[in-house]
Every structure is written in structure tokens, then in C-alpha cells.
Structure 1
Amino acid sequence: MIKRVTISDKALEASFKVAELIAKNMNSHVIGEKLIRPACLVMVETIRRINEMADDINDIVLEKIKNQKLFSLQIDESTDRTSKAQLLDFGRFVDNSNIVEQFLFCKELKSTTTGKDIFDVVNNFFEKSGLSLNYCCGVCTDGAPSITGKYKGFVTLAKIKNPAMIITHCFIHREALVAKTLGEKMLKVLNDAIKIVNYIKNIENKDS
């Protein structure tokens, strides 16, 4: 027999825990009705409004993309502080002759972080939103194997749906890779540049 916990059960458990905190702090029981209950209502109402605003913004962005049809994506998979894999997706599209970049979603990769997992999350989001990867003209990534893998990467699976899709490497990650590759050589050049600047400054100070 499976025991299912309802929202009312959780609400009752929460009320007991709040009552326990009030008792441990030796406050009057009426503080629950006078302060804690109104405070909880304010927090719930505020969070509800924030969620509604976020949904409204998301709907507006998706509607603009649908009107323009063509769009590009920037995808990045990262691990948060709780060691959970998060997939972030930004969309770029033209709006009134301006190139606009908007955050589309951040979704947790619940099991593994393979190219297929990433593709399924992205594809499901677009299908539910009424969009299609057929109109995606480009994808910008950090070059991770799960994204750009030749056989099972996200890019490979996405290009099956849209072979015309152009793949680019993020410029920020390129700079990071260059810095790692140059290493001590870059440091020596920078140190020499600092010495030259300091030397010129010393000469100017003496002349003045």
C-alpha cells in the first residue's frame, strides 16, 4: 500500500512546526495569528506575483521569436553549488531591427548529462513552446564533448533536424583556452609591459 502525502497534510505539519518554534521561544501563541500568518500570506502572494511576471515575460519573448521565426541559441551546461547539473539556454533574435538576447530557461538535468539528455530538454522546451529547431540558424557553445560530440553530442542530434544550423564556439571560452595554452609566456609578456610602463613613469616624475 502506497501512502500519498497531500498538500493539506504538509500544511498541517508546517503549522505544528511553527507552533513548536513559538513555544520554544516562549512567545505568546497569538503571535502566530498576529504576525506569522500575515507574514506567510505576504510571502506567498509576492512569490506568486513574481512567478506570474516571469511567465508573462517568457510568453512575450516566445511570441517575438515566433513572429521573427529565425533565432539562434547559446547553450551551456554547468554544475551548481548542490552538485546538480543545470542546462542554461539563451536565445538571440531580431526585434525591430535590433539583435536581442533573452534568457529562455534553466533546467536541471536529472539523470545524466549526455548529448541526448541535453537535446531532449531543449527539444521538449521548444515543442511545448510551439517553436521548432528547424528555424534555429545557429548554436553557440563552449565546446564541451556532450554538446559538440561527433556522434552523440547535442549539436549532432540537432543538425539531424536542421542540417543548415551553424555551430560557433563561445568567444569567452576561446579566450580562456588561449590563456591556459600561453601560460608562462603570457605572464612574461605582461610583466615586461608593466616594467616598461613603470620605467616611463619614473622618468616623467624625475623630469617634472
Structure 2
Amino acid sequence: MATKRASKRAYSDDYLKFGFTSIVIEGIEKPQCVICLKVISAESMKPFQLKRHFEKEHPTYNDRDVSFFQRQSQSVKKSRLDTTGQTAITIRAAVEASYVVSLRISKSKKPHTNGEELVLPCTKDIVRIMIGADAVKKLSSLSISDNTVQRRIQEMSEDIKNQVVEQIKQSPIFVLQLDESTDVSSCAKLMIYVRYIHDSNFKEEFLFCQPLDFQTHGIDVFNKVDTFFCKRRSRLEKSWSCLHRWRSFYVGKPFWVPDTR
């Protein structure tokens, strides 16, 4: 038996005379009352239902003209946090700017505190002189503190790593290069580079860097690489199996592949 499909109604500017604007929630446009801020279902996006709410809940506003509801609608859109509101647009822009500044700090290898202590004050001075004092207020939502910059860099690093892993997964073959080095505190570091095929071309990327906490024997190196692939076993199952074959040669231990069922 065929089911009746409910038709989707789009918001019309004519609904504003009933005191309703629109709001997007989880990709669905719904009517919102500009007086009580109540959001009703998308199926209620009908003139008679909107009018019924208006006459029942707000009878004292019957004599107001459309310009009043337009002002109310603009006020609601400025204050709310939906995807179409001015506040949400400002927040998204501030977050994007925070990532861009954090990326530049990382590329320049400067202290993370430079964002809050140098970049932001300089930006405010430039904006105040060249644009005006009112524009400086928009920079108050920009967060580039020491901890924020560190967190942004970690998030971007993890995203890049995930992109590389996805490209490795699609590659028919790849090669790992292992390099051991020490930092300024004489702590041993294991650095892994990978070469694979992407879009019919060879591509080389830095995969990860992990400290060798205790010893630098073959089994210690293998365990670090094995841990990385184990966390991504569902995406790199074939690579993980090949890694254990490499273990039997590099470490001198019998070949063993755990049961992944």
C-alpha cells in the first residue's frame, strides 16, 4: 500500500504578518514566532495554522503593522544561534580566523603565546586605524590564546593524518620509511614517512612521530608502528597484515596475525 508523502512547505514573507519568521534546525526550515520565540513543526508552515497561533497566543498584537514584525524578526535573527543568524555567522568567522592564525603560528615555528600577546593586539590596532573603532568590537570573539592555538594545531594535525590514512587505504601499495632521531633533551624519536600512489602519482607524506620511551630495539620500533595501525585497523586491514609480515623479518619473531573476526 502506497504511503502518502507529506509535501514540504517553504517559508513565505507573507507569513510575517502573522508574526512568524523562519529558522533552520538540522537542515529543516521551521516557522518561529517573533513574539514568544516558539518554534513549531515544519508541517505547520501553513497560513491558517500560523494565524491561529497568532490570534490565540498574541491577540494584543492584532493592530500592529508589518514593519513592527520586521523589526522583531531582525532582532530575533541577530540574537539566535541558528545557521542563518548573524551571531552564528560571526562565530563561524571567528573560529575560521582562529584556525588560520594558528596555522601561521605553526608554520613560522613561533611560540603559541604570540597569538594573544602579539597578533591580536596588532590586528586591533590596524583595524582601528584603517577601518574604525566599531570594527574592533568584532575581534572580541576571536580566541587565539596559548591553549586555543595548541588545540587548533592538534586538530589540524589529526585531520591531515586522517586524510593521509584515507589516501593510503586507496593506494594499491605503499612503502614506510623509519627514521630514528633525538631531540634537544636527548630523547629518542621514531619518525615514520610513507610513500604511496594517489591519483596515479607517487606521493610522500610524513605519517607520525612517537617517542621511544625506554629502548630502541627492533621490537620497540615495531610496537610503535603496530599501535598506530591497530587504532586504524578497520581502515588499513591489508596494511596491518603486511606489517606483521615485516615484523618477522625486522624483529626476528615468528609471523603472527591476530584474529580480527
Taking structure 1 as the reference length, what is the TM-score of the superposition? 0.46
Query: Would you tell me which structure has more helix in proportion to its own residues?
Result: 1
- Give the number of the structure with larger relative contact order, counting CA–CA contacts within 8 Å between residues 6 or more apart: 1
